[in-house]
Structure 1
Amino acid sequence: MRKALLLFIFLGLGYTIQAQKYRGERLDSIHTLAVQTKAALKKLEKPASIRLMAVGDIMMGTDFPNKSYLPPAGKGPFDDVNAILQQADILFGNLEGTLTDTGENAKRCSDPSKCYSFRSPEYFGKYLEESGFDVMSIANNHIGDFGSIGIKNTAKTLEKHHIAYAGVFAKPSAIFEKNGIKYGFCAFAPNKDCIKIHNLSNAKKIVTELQKQVDIVIVSFHGGAEGAEHTHVPRKTERFYGEDRGDVYRFAHTMIDAGADVILGHGPHVSRAFEVYKDRFIAYSLGNFCTYSRFNLSGIKGYAPIAEITIDPKGKFISGKLHSAKQVDEVYPYMDDKKRALKEIKQLTQSDFPESKLIFEEDGTFKQLKE
């Protein structure tokens, strides 16, 4: 009888322990599921605002016509500006050239030293990823420098480093998601191999289709005449060396009318004005940003603005900040204490778009003065 009672107590205690263990494991599973659900819901939550940063032309060095145009080893292209760039929620730049280890020069040049074709090694892609670039335009006059293989390898390199891109026939637009916001991106240029800035009906179609699928549409264009004599936006078609470089004012406004939220321009190799149209931000040219060698960086061509804008989850402009960086020959961009890019863009904005009523402060912040 005593043995039977002890056996009953032992079995009961074992059952209780197993039950408690099962209940504990179940509670742990419930807790884990709750944590995972909370994290998933948080991921779906849209932020109250988005900090978008944009820069102009990027060509980190080229091994054509020879490797003397590559920078010395040991310094990254964005080392002196990463403290700013890495604060962005979304970071944009224009890739002025290719990222390819193969391909023959597609331009006809009797003297290779005077042939401006840009072939950056594919390993340079890591610098873009490390600095946080999310999206890049490849619609410009240098994407075809090394033919179709150069375009394909550039695309593969950007994909390898998780960077969205668009602007060529094989990739007119892209959709990507970050922090619960879905973005649509498209890019245009007047050049061979690119989706044309002149074809407004096609551009409108691309933007309209993106607008149906995403929260925010970003449009990039490579257009306008080049050089220090062309800092103003003329509000008409621009021609340079006999080429139609587009009417960037009409293009930008047409894209916003079609549903675009942010317009980012480049191509003139100098800074141009900012504008806010229908509560949407336009940068008409962000100039050169990280262009190692083979570029004329004298005077205002060496200004390297970093445009920061804060927008709401629907793309409406809230405020901005202009960070001034600078380049000199064969030196990567660095922050400019004299704030020359800020002063230039402030003056151009007030001159070209007084109706936008953008007010710039000394620290680079700017906002639209509301009546």
Structure 2
Amino acid sequence: MSEEPKNVRHPDLRDGHYDIVGSIATNVADGFTMVAVGDLIVTRALTKRRDPDFAALVAILRDADVTFGNMETSIIDIRSFKGSPQAEYGGAYHISLPELGPDLREMGFNIVARANNHSLDWGVEGMRETSQALDQNGIVHAGVGENLAQASASRFLETARGRVALVSTASTFTPLSRACDAAGEAPGRPGLNSLRLARSIVVPSEMLDSLRRVRNALPGFWHGCDNSGPVVLAGTTYKAGDKPGYSYQADSGDVTGILRNVRQGKQFADFCIITNHGHEPGNWSQEPADYEQAFAHRLIDAGADAYVGHGPHQLRGIEIYKGRPILYSLGNFIMDDLRTPIGADMFAAQGKDPSRDTDAEVTAAEMGGGYESDPGFSDPVFYESVVTISRFEQNHLAELRLIPIELGHGNRLANRGVPRLASAHRAKVILERLQMLSQPFGTQIVIENEVGIIKLPPDSSR
């Protein structure tokens, strides 16, 4: 019998759905389900609660092949911890008790993202202890490591219906938390897998002319520079446009590395999730940053089966691209932010005195007003989200279900932030908002019995 020629295209695979080293098509058993939620800002074990609505959510999480969330806290025992709160932190010191590790597993989480602006709130020591806690409980995690190669690498979860790869990156991060590789005799640096963005402020052309005149009048200005393009003033780039706002350019080297790791992740797995933590252009925005759609499309083209965004603490739209889900932001799943202890820097930032004020009072001040340039977390929109359930049949996304949840915005601090199934009225409000946010992407969400449903035809990946 003659030997099959090498690198021959198999007739059952359409053009563009595989390369020499393997298929980039989805390759899971029928009925494969991915549950994806947003931020896990959680300080304590929650499964001991006698709350039927929370228990109903846990049942959904446990029933999936892969259950994903963004791990936005450090799991450390402060009594034996050798590190310290960092001077540069992600806006608040997120800290969790050691019992959170087994509790996340009990909830059903088996894979989590680690790259975000809170990855190193408690330094490299906190990053390492959190990794150890997740490892001990069999929860796969990606996005941080001892160098960039480790932080950016795919991590793998074995399931009954296929092997799942996860690549985790962050476009919002503290500068000193960015991992790097060794260079010559200089060792690599522990940290997170970053996606650096260059931000420009878009203004009307007449305003740009005014900014150019201000720049030209400043001492030290070099008059030989370009007077027709963007204006750099006090380290900020301004450019002309029809609509004032913010524009972002992703670092080409970072994008190349992320695409490579997605491609490699898919080569070694049946299903690949790429996740990005980004607050851009701000927590106030219900629209993704202007770079993100093209970025997500490139990742899907490289082999990702799902793009999961989180960061702005509220929902953003959903797009289906080549039959694969792009979830631009899933908001918060848990925001049980009873953070204690917190660093002295945060007391100072909120105008509090650690000898007089409590950790809870500092937390309440931070949650109620002022986060970067945002109005704070007093708006109920930050306490509403969805649990997404993606079901695949014949290696195609057949259905995406959206289960509305609310996190108890009106509750006292000790009980706020724990998810439960939304009431019928709130479910309708949440899903109608998500319908509106998804319309620009051509996504049709049908509401049936307080559940959002996106159904796809079998050939939707073409």
TM-score higher than 0.5 here?
Answer: yes
Of stretches 254-263 and 82-91 in structure 1, the one that deviates more from structure 2 is 82-91
Structure 1: distance between partners of 2:46 and 2:140: 28
Q: CA deviation at 1:297?
A: 5.6
Larger radius of gyration: 1
Instruction: Please state which structure has a larger fraction of its residues in helix.
Output: 1
User: What is the identity, as a one-letter code, of the residue corresponding to 1:48?
Assistant: D
How many Å separate the matches in 2 of 1:55 and 1:141?
18
Q: CA deviation at 1:91?
A: 0.5
Give the equivalent residue in structure 2 for 1:366. Answer: 454
Report the equivalent of 2:86: 106
- What is the TM-score of this pair, normalised by structure 2? 0.60
Mapped to 1, the partners of 2:455 and 2:158 lie a distance apart of 27
Q: Counterpart amino acid of 1:324?
A: P
Distance in 1, matches of 2:285 and 2:456, equals 25
Q: Note if 1:336 corresponds to 2:316.
A: no
Structure 1: distance between partners of 2:28 and 2:143? 28
- 2:445 is paired with a residue whose SS is strand
Q: C-alpha separation between the residues in 2 aligned to 1:267 and 1:366?
A: 23
2:31/2:392 contact within 8 Å kept: yes
Amino acid in structure 1 at the alignment position of 2:122: F
Structure 1: gaps spanning 5 or more residues:
1-44, 62-69, 237-246
Provide the residue aligned with 1:175 in structure 2: 156
Code of the residue aligned with 1:258 in structure 2: it is A
Give how far 1:248 is off.
Answer: 2.1
Tell me if 1:233 matches 2:288: yes
Structure 2, unmatched stretches of 5+, are 1-26, 178-190, 197-253, 338-362, 368-376
Q: Tell me how far apart the structure 2 counterparts of residues 149 and 287 of structure 1 sit (CA, whole Å).
A: 28
Q: Note if 1:135 corresponds to 2:111.
A: yes
2:309 corresponds to 1:265: yes
Q: 1:214 to 1:322 in 2, by over 3 A?
A: same
Q: Do the aligned partners of 2:45 and 2:100 also contact (CA within 8 Å) in 1?
A: no
Amino acid at match of 1:344: R
Hey, what does 1:197 align to over in structure 2? 195
- Matches of 2:46 and 2:302, distance apart in 1: 46
Q: CA deviation at 1:287?
A: 0.3
2:259, 2:299 within 8 Å by CA — same for their partners in 1?
A: yes
Paired residue secondary structure (2:133): helix
Cα deviation code 1:37-68 (max 9, x no counterpart): xxxxxxxx96312111111011112xxxxxxx
Deviations along 1:77-130, whole A, 9 cap, x unmatched? 954621322222210000111111123101358xxxx96111111211121100
What aligned pairs does 1:28-107 form with structure 2 within 5 A after superposition? 47-61=29-43, 75=49, 79=55, 81-101=57-77, 102=81, 103-107=83-87
Would you say the 8 A contact 1:215–1:313 is kept in 2? no
Count of matched residue pairs: 300
Equivalent-residue separation in structure 1 for 2:50 and 2:128 (angstroms):
25
Q: Work out the CA distance in 1 between the residues paired with 2:107 and 2:129.
A: 21
With structure 1 as the length reference, what TM-score do the two structures score? 0.74
